[in-house]
Chain A
Amino acid sequence: MSARNSDKQYGWVAIVLHWFMAPAIIGMFALGWWMRQLSYYDPWYRQGPELHKGIGILLLGLLLFRLLWKLANPSPAAAANTPRWQALAARAAHGVIYLLLLAIMCSGYLISTADGRPIDVFGWFSVPATIQGFANQEDIAGEIHEILAWTLMALVALHALAALKHHFFDRDATLRRMLGLRTKAASSDNHSQTRATLSSVTATTTK
């Protein structure tokens, strides 16, 4: 499998990034939710937030790399039988997911660095504070962090349901190609025929 995307297939870099970040992000949501209910004497009262902040910074690094990779690679086209509005909606959802991730990570950073303290990443390195000193910065950033995190999870659920719909109802290659599985449609004549028919249909309708 190629590292780079083609207009039909995801390369392994995009696939690894997707499946590494997806559980990490959902796990971060769960960790963030759980760590806030811990009692003061819980051993995780300190470790939970330390873990959340460290992973958050690492995920920010991965996200920036992922966005650069996305810009430098073609995006595989929507499955051939996908209605245009669905293809557009999927694109928009992907874009919003990236934006939400970026905003969630930035707002999280602004909570912990509001008083000028750096964020320590597992004793490996630390990220210094930059923007600080807004009145109640940690509270405002905290509100934003929480609201956007819930919004993201709603979109993630929609994204996963849409992938399952493609797989089980439309029976197309959308999910298989993100799993790195060889897609029947991509290699068979059947698929190119469908595409040809479709493009001729589009051609006639545009005339």
Chain B
Amino acid sequence: MKQLAVFLFAALLGATAQAAEYKIDTKGAHAFIQFRIKHLGYSWLYGRFDDFDGSFFYDDKAPEKSTVNVNIDVTSLNSNHAERDKHLRSPDFLDTAKFPSASFKSTGFEPLGDGKAKLSGELTLRGVTKPITIDVTNIGGGKDPWGGYRQGFSGTTEFELKDFGIDYNLGPASQKIEMILDIEGVKI
């Protein structure tokens, strides 16, 4: 009963949001760009990019109009191991001296109902631009306790390392990388 009340309250708040531009809350670190890749096929290795910024447009009445732009400082890669991070930034992998930034620009947003959607866009990484599709879930949105208005999403996608020019051999189980994207935006 209480949950239902919270849900209705949230829905009511949501209804007042309408179309708005949101700034991704990197300042308060309520946004994470993480990746994971299999290690030898035996376990998952997680890493993230600590520095990025971006914004999105979201209209809960017309979610198909949603757009997203994100810029990532690739040198901020962090896999909790300095020697590995150094190797991942080297020309064997991301070559961050040559390609210090990556970006994602959306080209389409296809709502699938139930808060789920397919976000398509162009990912630029290591100087290569390729279309990717991200499976998105709207986690929630509404007023925050400090006078702001927030909207949050979770997304996943995967691609082959070689699609972006990374051909270092990590083994047959480690050809693909998964991206796990969690962003919360504050209404501007």
Contact = CB atoms under 8 A, between A and B. Distances in A.
Interface string A112-153: 111101000000000000000000111100100000000000
A113 B81 CA distance: 9
A139 B168 contact: no
Contacts of B85: 115, 138
B169 interface: yes
Nearest to A143: B97
Interface of A: 39-41, 49, 111-115, 117, 136-139, 142
B187 interface: no
A115 B81 contact: yes
Contacts of A115: 80-82, 85
Nearest to A49: B83
B170 interface: yes
Given A40-B168, A40-B171, A139 B86 contact: yes
Contacts, number: 32
Contact of B86 (A39, A40, A111, A113): A111
A146 to B, nearest CB: 11
Nearest to B51: A135
A113 B75 CA distance: 18
Interface in B48-103: 75, 80-83, 85-86, 89
Interface string B155-181: 000000000000011110000000000
A40 B82 contact: no
A144 B83 CA distance: 15
Contact of A40 (B80, B81, B83, B169): B169
Contact of B82 (A41, A49, A114): A114
Contact of B89 (A40, A114, A139): A139
Contacts of A49: 83
A39 B82 contact: no
A113 B89 CA distance: 17
**Which size class do B's interface residues fall under?**
10 to 19
In order of increasing CB-CB distance, the 10 nearest A-B pairs are A114-B82, A115-B82, A138-B82, A138-B86, A40-B170, A142-B86, A139-B86, A39-B169, A136-B75, A139-B89
A5 to B, nearest CB: 40
A41 B83 contact: no
Contacts of A111: 82-83, 86
Contacts of A137: 82
Nearest to A142: B86
A142 B168 CA distance: 20
Contacts of B83: 49, 111-112, 138
Contacts of B89: 136, 139
Contacts of A113: 82
7 contacts: A39-B169, A40-B170, A111-B86, A115-B80, A117-B81, A138-B83, A138-B86
Contacts of A117: 81-82
B80 to A, nearest CB: 7
A101 to B, nearest CB: 22
Contacts of A139: 75, 86, 89
Nearest to A37: B92
B40 to A, nearest CB: 9
Q: Which of B83, B85, B169 has the most CB of A within 10 A?
A: B83
Interface string B2-33: 00000000000000000000000000000000
